[in-house]
Amino acid sequence: MSEYNVKKLRRTHKGRIIAGVCSGIGEYVGIDANLVRIGLAIATLFGGLGVGVYAIGWLLMPDEEHDTSIVQDLIAKQQQSKSTTDWSGEHKPQP
């Protein structure tokens, strides 16, 4: 398998109901997204774990149109804002 044929775990638009997490997992694993949804629903009913897993997937899985996830975007934005402030918290002028 060449590097161009590597499957990537992404939130998909096809079959999306909320954020595309289940459809992305289903496509990656090769199963119907509804089975993933049922699994998360059962996990939610027995302890609420499904909601947390879904939220983590939404934050960590990039959308199929982007290369970075929501968390990666937030970290990059935070690092960018730190580099433009000095020790006093005042913003430095951008060149």
- Tell me: the pLDDT tens digits for 40-53? 999 999 888 988 88
8 A C-beta contact, residue 92 and residue 85:
yes
- 38 pLDDT tier (thresholds 50, 70, 90): very high
Identify the residue with better confidence: 2 or 78: 78
What pTM was computed for the model? 0.69
In the chain, what are the domain boundaries? Answer: 8-83
Phi, psi angle pair for 3, to nearest 5°: -65, -20
8 A C-beta contact, residue 31 and residue 22:
no
8 A C-beta contact, residue 26 and residue 33:
yes
Angle between helices 33-45 and 21-29 (to 10 degrees): 120
**SS3 assignment, position 75:** helix
Whether pLDDT at 79 is above 60: yes
> What's the average model confidence in pLDDT over 54-62?
90
> What's the average model confidence in pLDDT over 36-63?
90
